[in-house]
Amino acid sequence: MRLKNKPWANKLVEEHPESALDWPDPAEKIDWAARFGNDKPIEIEVGSGKGQFITTLAKQHPDRNFVAMEIQKTAAGIILKKKLDEGLANLQILCADAANLVAYFGENSTSKIYLNFSDPWPKSRHEKRRLTYKDFLAKYQAVLTGDGLIEFKTDNSGLFAYSVKSMNNYGMHFDFVSVDLHHESEEIVEKNVETEYEHKFASKGQPIYCLHAGFLAK
């Protein structure tokens, strides 16, 4: 969903290059170990919105590094403000297009990729824009470690069905599949970290679809 432009958020991104990368040149490699100050595993959320999900994870897991990849600069600024307010040293913001994912992350550099409530792009002519289209899957495979996972959530049944088929056709394996995440076992529900949209949709009784999938050995 497109956010209303907020000049303060854009300005904040520009004022904090140590915490947020503002459309970096894909031709220049990013030294993530230098930016984080360590070489702990990296987990990426592609399309972070206002950042509720990724900032919650960063607080829960100080032993991991997180990157919020967001195409909208205003959204990146909103996430950055939360990072700065909460002192999340293990979170970096990358304002960029996911189409350039491989340029920004090295091979086997990432342990997990989160795709939460992505744009479903329902028209057939826009299939290539869906974040679970085969070309995007190839990019994820390139940057994930051998045992790395994609965790995908949506409220859109059509996108979920498409994604299951796309991943299956790509030869991926599924570790977890749910067509009603919020009515799974108590243990699974307690571990689930909600996004802003997820909370909104679930509170209206809409089912949340979820899957965890990995790639076969490279």
Mark out the alpha helices in 20-156 (DSSP H runs).
Answer: 32-36, 52-60, 73-86, 101-104, 134-143
3-state helix, strand, coil in the chain (%, to 5): 40, 20, 35
Compute how many other C-beta atoms are within 10 angstroms of the C-beta atom of residue 163. Answer: 25
Please state the pTM of the whole predicted model: 0.96
**Which residues are designated catalytic?**
119
CA atoms within 13 A on the CB side of 128: 3
Pairwise CA distance, residues 74 & 80, whole Å = 10
Residue 2: inside a domain:
no
Angle between helices 73-86 and 7-15 (to 10 degrees): 60
Residue 57: inside a domain:
yes
For residue 162, what is the domain's CATH number? 3.40.50.150
Model pLDDT, residue 218: 61
Pairwise CA distance, residues 59 & 39, whole Å = 18
Pairwise CA distance, residues 50 & 138, whole Å = 27
Residue 161: inside a domain:
yes
Q: Which domain holds residue 100?
A: 7-214
Domain count, the chain: 1
Instruction: Give pLDDT tens digits for 74-133.
Output: 999 999 999 999 999 999 999 999 999 999 999 999 999 999 999 999 999 999 999 999
Residue 1: inside a domain:
no
pLDDT at 1 over 70: no
Looking up tokens 């230098």 gives 34
Residue 101: inside a domain:
yes
Residue 157: inside a domain:
yes
Residue 169: inside a domain:
yes
| Farthest-apart Cα atoms in the chain, separation | 46
